Amino acid sequence: AMVAEVARHAAEFSWNPPAIGVDVAHELHVENAPFDGRWWTPDDPHHVVGGRLGLIDDIWQLTLFGWLGPWNYAEREHTRPPVIFGEVGTTEVSLLDLVPNGLDYTQRQPPYRCTQSVNQIIAGAHTDGDVKYRGAAIELLNLNEWAQRPVFASQSQQPQECSPGSSRWQETFVATDPGVLVARLPEATVSLVRGLGHSLNPVSSVDVTSNECVIFDFNEPITAEEIAHDFLRPLASLLALATCQPCPVQRFGVVPEDAAERSGSWSMLAWEPRSPLPSPGQWFHFIFTLLDVDFGSVIPRWWALHPDIGTVTDLLGSLEGEAPTSNKFLNAASAIEAYHRRLSTEAGM
């Protein structure tokens, strides 16, 4: 009965997302690797070979069971393509910034197997990388706990058919819309939304997930590198400072400038963490949460301050985790010195 109740609420629960959307329908994420697919070059889409994209020693590598590109054994010329397109299931994938690794071939024949490292992976489209984006959707590890905006509430009530002295109680779950919080920057509009997804096993169970997501709607299209430096880095620094823990990216989606309205986003797979992330829990020691500050005020104020003390927050983040005590001491001293130099108004500093 409880499963059916949760499923009913999940099916009925919806709210209007921001204009650029937050759905990343292309479920190519690190935890699902490796990926088997079909691969080809943009210049020769009819020559397709099989291959596997996966993580080897925390490095994305593509292993092709064949060869893409020209091959001239006599002249020792075998140029590798700078961009490779592919399909994993029905998902379009673009592999950019490739680094050659190894070749396996027989005499005077093209390689029957080759490997190369991949530094940029875009799931959801075929693109050569020379593209700008008008929006981004980012999920961070600590964001749910920092936002403190629960989306489900449990209620216990006595069924009507029970007598007043009966101890039978029924627990139900009610989904509520926490709303969309908005902040404005000179270069973008920032929204905090709470997404909801569910999958139903008709026999026994229902899985419901809900995560906070920060949406950036840029005034002018920008590159992926600009998104990472000017928007992702300040956001992660704010969360790391508030939670006293590193704040890695869990999901990173981008919306290209020529995409149709509400068409979803591309997943920047190579920017997601390549090692298992810790599970958020009670071990967070918050300095402040969203209950303590106004989202519309703290975001623009932090963005204005971050260019001056961004290095300080990076150094503070390095104090967490395993490291020699001497290294942590030097980083802490450097953070104090950098903070003093950035904010000091004395002449000559």
pLDDT given at position 1:
45
How confident is the prediction for the chain on average, in pLDDT? 75
pLDDT given at position 157:
60
Those residues whose C-beta lies under 8 Å from the C-beta of residue 346, and which sit 6 or more positions away, are none
pLDDT given at position 284:
59
Q: Is residue 70 over pLDDT 90?
A: no
Instruction: Look at strands 188-201 and 205-222 and give their pairing.
Output: antiparallel
pLDDT in tens, 78-113: 677 888 898 888 888 888 888 877 766 666 677 778
Bridge partner list, 252: 138
Backbone angle region of 244, left / alpha / beta, with phi > 0 → left and psi within -120 to 50 → alpha:
left
Say if residue 172 is exposed, middle or buried (CB neighbours under 10 Å; 0-12, 13-18, 19+).
middle
Stated pTM of the model: 0.71
Tally the C-alpha atoms within 13 A of residue 246's C-alpha that lie toward its C-beta: 15
Percentage of the chain lying above the pLDDT 70 cut: 68
pLDDT given at position 9:
41
Beta strands in the chain (DSSP E): 35-41, 44-56, 59-64, 84-88, 91-104, 113-123, 133-140, 152-157, 170-175, 181-184, 188-201, 205-222, 249-256, 266-268
Q: Measuring CA to CA, which residue among 122, 2, 102, 110 is closest to residue 62? A: 102
Those residues whose C-beta lies under 8 Å from the C-beta of residue 259, and which sit 6 or more positions away, are 134
| Per-residue three-class SS string for 255-279 | EECCCCCCCCCEEEHHHCCCCCCCC
pLDDT given at position 158:
57
Q: Measuring CA to CA, which residue among 46, 31, 33 is closest to residue 118? A: 33
Mean predicted confidence (pLDDT) in 179-208: 81
pLDDT in tens, 247-282: 788 888 888 877 655 455 677 766 665 565 555 554
In three-state secondary structure terms, 302 is helix
Q: Which of 50-54, 169-173, 308-312 has the lowest mean pLDDT?
A: 169-173
pLDDT given at position 160:
58
In three-state secondary structure terms, 333 is helix
Dihedral pair phi/psi, residue 3, rounded to 5°: -60, -45
- Of residues 214 and 122, the one with the higher pLDDT is 214
